[in-house]
Amino acid sequence: MADNPATDSAAATAGDATSPRVEHRFHAYTGNDIPWYVRAIWIGFWIFAVTYTIRFLLPAMQVELIGR
C-alpha cells in the first residue's frame, strides 16, 4: 500500500479495501468536560433523591407493607 493519503483516499472511493490511515482520518474523537454547574445540579439531585428515600419513602413503605 502507498504512504500517500491522496492515493489511499482514491483507493477507498474506488471500492478497494481501505487502509488504516484512511479509516482513522475522521475518527479523532474529542470529549467535552461536563461544566461545574451541571455537576452541581446532578449532585444536588442525588442528595435530594437519597434524602427523600430515607426520610419519606422507606417509612411509608414500612407502614404499607407491615401495617396490613
Q: Are 2 and 8 in contact (CB under 8 A)?
A: yes
Q: Are residues 41 and 21 in the same domain?
A: no
Q: Are residues 64 and 53 in the same domain?
A: yes
Q: DSSP secondary-structure letter at 21?
A: H
Q: Are 19 and 11 in contact (CB under 8 A)?
A: yes
For residue range 13-60, list pLDDT tens digits in order. 555 667 777 777 676 667 778 899 999 999 999 999 999 999 998 888
pLDDT value for 23: 75
All 3 cell numbers of residue 14? 474506488
pLDDT value for 20: 74
Task: State the pTM of this model.
Answer: 0.48
pLDDT value for 51: 95
Q: Are residues 40 and 64 in the same domain?
A: yes
- Give the integer Cα–Cα distance in Å for 58 and 51: 10
Which structural domain range is residue 66 located in? 34-68
